[in-house]
Chain A
Amino acid sequence: MRTALRDALLEIKEDDDGLYLIVGDIGFGVFEEFEEKYKKDYLNIGICEANMIGMSAGMAMNGFIPLVYTIVPFLTMRCFEQIRVDIAMHNQKVILIGVGGGLAYGNLGPTHHSFEDIVLMSMLPNFKVFSPSQPNEGKACLDLALAHDGPSYIRLGKNGEPDLSENLLTEKDGTKIYCYKPDACDLLIFCHGAITHECIQASKILSKSGIHISVCSALQVKPLPESIIDICSKQKKVISVEEHSTYHSVGSSLLKQISENGFYGKFKVYGIEDKFTEVVGSRDFLLEHHRLDATSLVTRFKLELE
């Protein structure tokens, strides 16, 4: 996902000389071409996230569009108050790009995991938040962030995420429907980010048992597009599956909005429960540990439908 975003950035940069890339000493093998081509507009500022955020705000105040890249917890949590004051309060057009959302950095351990970031960024006024599900959404994210006259946060996975086009039914405003249409399903799954793949896999497995699960993934998770509110409001059963804390999540916000829009069905949030991940392993292993892999989801979805 990070290389797809890099490619999109290289493409966009050709037409926009105001873009300025700041990395926090992260991105080996990712940004070399950008650095080489646009030396003046690339800065490895070092390991100093508070400074990196303040500096990006200062540059945005003077005509640049800074894109700030590092690992999610360091980008969004280490310097949360700098983001709040320097970027959000001043409503500066800075694009924060976090790599390694959720459990993507698996066996690097819990300091490198992130299950709080999306809600933290979503709470900040002026911010738009994006959570791409697959590499080919990188360009759309950047386009939407650049079209927004204010700050954005893009939460990436890491690398190796599969293309999900095969099961795609419809797409509108970045909202994608996979496997079954929402008006012809037993259960609707709302999701965003790389976990969408697990949801689609679970739906495909269950389809063999005649169970129809529609998977609705959002690219923009704050604000949620009207289309998602409309789709989910009409459902009897919705489960929000997220690589994020269940304590507060995009699902919490979705539930609030659909409740205000006439939803009277059943709603659940699956994600990372209220504890740090104590076991060590790859993302796949940790997804299984948190019962978020496709096989676990199949079991859980079945139970919900009993």
Chain B
Amino acid sequence: MNNTILQERSRSLRKKIFQSVYDGNGGHIGGSFSVIDILNYLYSEVLFFDPQQPNLDNRDRLILSKGHSCLALYWALAEFKFFDEELIHSYGSDGSVFAGHPEYNKGSGIEISSGSLGHGPAIGVGIANALKLKNIKARVFVIVGDGESNEGSVWEAAMSAAQLKLDNFYIIVDNNGMESLDRTDNIMSIEPIDKKFDAFGFDVQRCNGHDFDQMHQSFQALDSPNGMPKCLIADTIKAYGLSFTEGVAKWHYRAPDDEELKLGLEELSS
């Protein structure tokens, strides 16, 4: 793993996301910036895929259940050549291919339509179960948010994953600590989230979701066919990567103004 390459890639992806949010006059910057290092790491170091053959039976499946962070997914998929980045440039305009939440048939590499929270884990469990029954050695990675983990359906799926001994099923919590209107702890705290998944029968690791070395160690520790589903709690910061957006609630969904765009692109270029 080359930490410098990964950091440079994340910086470049954040810049593209920021520009898209400006061009499209709105987007979920907060969640896109908190999850982009996780997506970058997974596509760079963990997932098996072939962008030329996006429907390979034995591909690893990535499901972005927190679909509002779709710009991070669109740009990650373009970075890894699933489709041309030109497709993203019309984001936010009438007639655009891409909506503000991902749709499964609108670009290769998008495994499911998401946006309504709490759906990804159950679909992921179904996929992981099907893969096991067909003896296909592929894994399913479902990224959920901490706010999304308020949804009971996340925990229904977690119980099924453990019951079915789906050790090919990974759930990654982009734990950025904030929901739409306030801090998660002030709305419906999910902590201790690692202990919760542990109690639900998961093999659990917890690390800084912006630190590639830590994520690397965590995924290596989780890579065991032990009959247990896997969980990584990736502690992140909402809107991470720009000094004036990090942890600021208004950047959950917003378009930067001209001045903010200039400042943001400068900071992400330096």
Residues of A in contact with B (beta carbons under 8 Å apart): 40, 45-46, 48, 50-64, 66, 81-82, 85-86, 89-90
Contact = CB atoms under 8 A, between A and B. Distances in A.
Interface in B101-140: 104, 111-113, 116, 118-119, 121-131, 133-134
Given A48-B160, A82-B122, A90-B104, A61 B127 contact: yes
Interface of A is mostly: helix
Given A53-B122, A59-B130, A90 B116 contact: no
B157 interface: yes
A179 to B, nearest CB: 46
A64 B132 CA distance: 12
B152 interface: yes
Contacts, number: 86
Contacts of A52: 122
Contacts of B131: 62
A45 B118 CA distance: 18
B165 to A, nearest CB: 13
B160 A51 contact: yes
A225 to B, nearest CB: 29
Given A59-B126, A81-B116, A51 B133 contact: no
Interface of B is mostly: helix
Contacts of A85: 113, 116, 119
B132 to A, nearest CB: 10
Interface in B152-173: 152-153, 156-157, 159-160, 163
20 contacts: A50-B118, A50-B122, A53-B122, A55-B126, A55-B129, A58-B125, A58-B128, A58-B130, A61-B112, A61-B130, A62-B126, A62-B127, A63-B134, A64-B130, A64-B133, A66-B126, A81-B116, A82-B122, A89-B113, A90-B104
Given A51-B153, A55-B160, 5 more contacts: A54-B122, A54-B153, A59-B129, A85-B113, A86-B119
Nearest to B151: A50
Contact of A54 (B104, B113, B157): B157
Given A48-B160, A54-B121, A54-B122, A63 B116 contact: no
Nearest to A62: B130
Given A85-B113, A86-B123, A63 B130 contact: yes
B14 to A, nearest CB: 29
Contacts of A59: 126-127, 129-130
B156 A48 contact: yes
Nearest to B114: A85
B268 to A, nearest CB: 34
B84 to A, nearest CB: 24
A90 B113 contact: yes
B129 A58 contact: yes
